[in-house]
Amino acid sequence: LLYERHGEAAAVVQLKDLEVPKLGDCDVHVKMLAAPINPADINMIQGTYPILSPLPAVGGNEGVGEVLEVGHRVTALKPGDWVIPANAGLGTWRTRGVFPEEMLLKVPSDIPVLCAATLSVNPCTAFRLLADFESLVPGDSVIQNAANSGVGQAVIQIARASGIKTINVVRDRPDLPKLVERLMALGADHIVTEEMLRKPEMKDIFKSIPRPRLALNCVGGKSTTEMLRHLQPKGTMVTYGGMAKQPVMVPVSAFIFRDVRLRGFWITQWRKDHVQDQESVAAMMDALCQLIRGGQLTAPACTEVPLQDYRAALEASMKPFVSSKQILLL
């Protein structure tokens, strides 16, 4: 799926037949199996993301493929192995590709294909958010907004497996009871709407669990300010997205009297910073694959779409209140 100019995804992305390039000595020929449509993919096509691929570009930053053939200097991969992108910008919305070996990470092929296809962005982001900013111990709590997003669903499950309680903020919607049921089934401890953040009932939650030391924000605007009120003194709020396209507003008192910390996180930058530290990357991937094998981490709610129906999938991924991730089957 190729785009030659930036613009609205459904308008500029086209399905094209291209020749598969020749296999170089250090290259790997991959048959792509499945690739999701993420908000960052859409932003790259629109031309609004901090990293952009040179045009014409193939869409998609995430997915899983099977190795068909390797160049004779490739040592870490062999035919039959499953691989995911090592970095953003690979262009995963394609049936076949030839990539340099260092652009791929091997993953176990005994995990479900949809888990592998959605492994490198959301679960990795969730893992780092929970690990890198506060040293959380069993019994601690975190609060997060957009709890039904891909990252939100992964945070709930990873926290649950570590004995950490989650307070999950979602937007009010027509099918709220259904969403609540689904997030509870993933292991959410408490689910509140953005409106409830201001209500006295929030105090009831903190009778049974401590106030959170960590808040995870991917929305911005008013709901973020409200979420911050519930953070413990000296707690940290990490912003990793801005779905509301509104700034984060913080009362001065939160800084002076509660000494809260505001941080940011971008998984693409984390990967760049850890290029020389493959041990950290491998440890994270191992931990996530173990959770998947143990049934403690599942793929986000997905809608599987054949490649030729890509336009409908792109349009569906832009609709509000959609908790289901569109996955292209290649």
pLDDT score, position 245: 87
pLDDT at site 93: 97
Does residue 321 carry a pLDDT above 80?
no
Is 2-118+299-329 in CATH node 3.90.180.10? yes
CA distance 105 to 96: 16
Q: Do the strands 236-239 and 261-264 form a parallel or antiparallel pair, or are they unpaired? A: parallel
Is a pLDDT exceeding 80 seen at residue 322? Answer: no
Q: What is the pLDDT of residues 298-309, one digit of tens each?
A: 999 899 999 999
Where are the domains positioned within the chain? 2-118+299-329, 124-268
Q: Which two tokens stand for residue 38?
A: 């993420």
9 and 49 in contact (C-beta within 8 Å)?
no
Kindly tell me the sign of the dihedral angle through the C-alpha atoms of 268, 274, 276, 280.
Answer: negative
The active-site residue out of 3, 49, 240, 310 is 49
**Residue (of 211, 254, 261) closest to 236 by Cα position:** 261
CA dist 287 → 88, 131, 132, 280, 313 (Å): 21, 12, 15, 11, 31
Q: Is 190's pLDDT higher than 90?
A: yes
Average pLDDT over residues 62-85: 96
Question: Helix or strand or coil: residue 164?
Answer: coil
Query: What's the CATH number of domain 124-268, 1.10.510.10, 2.30.30.280, 3.20.20.330, 3.40.50.720?
Result: 3.40.50.720
* CA–CA distances in Å: residue 320 to residues 75, 86, 103, 229, 315: 45, 30, 33, 27, 11
**pLDDT tens-digit map of 4-26:** 999 999 999 999 999 999 999 99
Helices 150-161 and 176-186: crossing angle in degrees, nearest 10, is 40
Residue pair 303/326 in contact by the 8 Å Cβ criterion: yes
pLDDT interval class at 47 (50, 70, 90): very high
Residues 41, 43, 49: CA angle, nearest 5 degrees: 105
Confidence of residue 220 (pLDDT cuts 50, 70, 90): very high
The verdict on pTM exceeding 0.85 is yes
Q: What pLDDT score does 320 carry?
A: 75
Query: Which residues have C-beta within 8 Å of that of residue 16, sequence separation ≥ 6?
Result: 1, 2
**Distance between CA 228 and CA 144 in Å, rounded?**
10
Residue 222, SS3 per DSSP:
helix
- Residue 181 confidence class, pLDDT cut points 50, 70, 90: very high
49 is annotated as an active-site residue: yes
